[in-house]
């Protein structure tokens, strides 16, 4: 007999609450009698908005308080965007379910231009991601990239105040918030390879809570899980997440998993890209990382 009541820890941004409510709704489709209580928390990443994330500890600052709530028993599960989850989890916790991947692409948002190609020299483009900065400067070295933090609504409001000529955001976040009409154009995977886990919601729980693991297993999407495991294995070997210029994207191609990995310099002058296929996700991720290291990725990352 499954549990009747569980507590779900979530950040309190509009997007995080959308994600938490979506997971609650999906669980209740399978368990109509299940009561899912949301525990809203403010993370350190939500508080420190005036500093670049890579200078204060990376995106792990968005999950730490949620993970502590699970470990101390205040919550049973937490929902994260997988691109925000550090490559190494705290002892005693696991990602027990990865939901089917939504749109993994980055998008260009502007009030005056349809595409990035239209931006004039020295136009200011806002993004909080060094991964995006590296790839976009490689294609458009004449642009000026500036760091922008805050939730999606906050960033778009700053665009509307003419602080930026355009923004680069994740397609998934805008679509989930019903803001698809703000998208000026989509970036191809060749223009901007996503962060590991982009577009994927992960559900975290205690490693020894087998009842909860069984309960949330209905949300797991096998192909997505395999893809994200490959992406994260590559990043773990390279020693980086979203706050270094590393990109990774895997998907099934016929009978095998294909993983594309990228490491770039901050100025975009050097981009290393490797693509391989395989059947073992972790092994594939390791192999792509080793090829990138052989091409000089270590020197680029160490220079940061």
- Structure confidence by residue, pLDDT tens digits, 92-145: 999 999 999 999 999 999 999 999 999 999 999 999 899 999 999 999 999 999
Angle between helices 281-294 and 222-238 (to 10 degrees): 30
Confidence of residue 2 (pLDDT cuts 50, 70, 90): low
In angstroms, the CA 25 to CA 218 distance is: 12
List the beta bridge partners of residue 202. Answer: 80, 98
Report, as an integer, the average pLDDT of 252-263.
94
Domains delineated in the chain = 5-99+200-220 (3.40.190.10), 106-186 (3.40.190.10), 235-302 (3.30.160.40)
How do 166-170 and 106-109 pair as beta strands?
Answer: antiparallel
H-only helix segments in 72-129:
none
Contact assessment for residue 204 and residue 89, using Cβ atoms and an 8 Å cutoff: yes
pLDDT of 53: 43
pLDDT of 239: 86
**Could you tell me which of 167, 32, 44, 191 has the C-alpha nearest to residue 105?**
191
Q: Is 245 exposed, middle or buried (0-12, 13-18, 19+ CB in 10 A)?
A: buried
Q: What is the pTM of this model?
A: 0.91
In angstroms, the CA 167 to CA 179 distance is: 14
- Structure confidence by residue, pLDDT tens digits, 31-68: 999 999 999 998 664 544 454 444 444 445 668 899 99
Q: DSSP for 128-153, please give it.
A: S-HHHHHHHHHH-TTSEEE---S-HH
pLDDT of 203: 98
Confidence of residue 174 (pLDDT cuts 50, 70, 90): very high
> What are the catalytic residues?
84
In angstroms, the CA 211 to CA 228 distance is: 24
- Structure confidence by residue, pLDDT tens digits, 186-195: 999 999 999 9
pLDDT of 255: 86
Share of the chain above pLDDT 90, in %: 86
């Amino acid at each position: 007999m499954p549990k009747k009541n569980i507590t779900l820890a979530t950040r309190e941004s509009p997007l995080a609450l959308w994600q938490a409510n979506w997971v609650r709704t999906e669980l209740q489709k399978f368990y109509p009698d299940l009561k899912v209580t949301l525990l809203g928390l403010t993370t350190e990443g939500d508080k420190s908005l005036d500093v670049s994330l890579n200078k204060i500890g990376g995106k792990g600052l968005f999950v730490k308080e949620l993970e502590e709530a699970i470990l101390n028993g205040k919550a049973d599960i937490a929902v994260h965007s997988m691109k925000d989850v550090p490559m190494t989890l705290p002892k005693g916790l696991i990602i027990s379910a990865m939901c089917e991947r939504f749109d993994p692409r980055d998008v260009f948002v502007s009030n005056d231009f349809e595409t990035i190609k239209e931006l004039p020299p020295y136009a200011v483009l806002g993004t909080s991601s060094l991964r995006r900065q590296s790839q976009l400067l490689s294609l458009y070295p004449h642009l000026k990239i500036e760091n922008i933090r805050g939730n999606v609504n906050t960033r778009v409001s700053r665009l509307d105040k003419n602080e930026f000529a355009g923004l680069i955001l994740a397609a998934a976040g805008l679509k989930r918030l019903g803001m698809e009409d703000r998208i000026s154009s989509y970036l191809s995977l060749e223009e901007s390879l996503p962060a590991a886990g982009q577009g994927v919601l992960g559900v975290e729980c205690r490693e020894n809570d087998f009842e909860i693991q069984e309960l949330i297993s209905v949300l797991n999407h096998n192909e997505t899980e395999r893809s994200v495991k490959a992406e994260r294995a590559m990043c773990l070997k390279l020693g980086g997440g979203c706050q270094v210029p590393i990109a990774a994207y895997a998907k099934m191609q016929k009978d095998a998993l294909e993983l594309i990995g990228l490491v770039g310099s901050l100025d975009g002058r050097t981009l290393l890209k490797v693509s391989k296929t395989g059947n073992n996700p972790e092994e594939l991720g390791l192999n792509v990382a080793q090829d990138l290291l052989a091409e000089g990725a270590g020197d680029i990352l160490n220079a940061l």
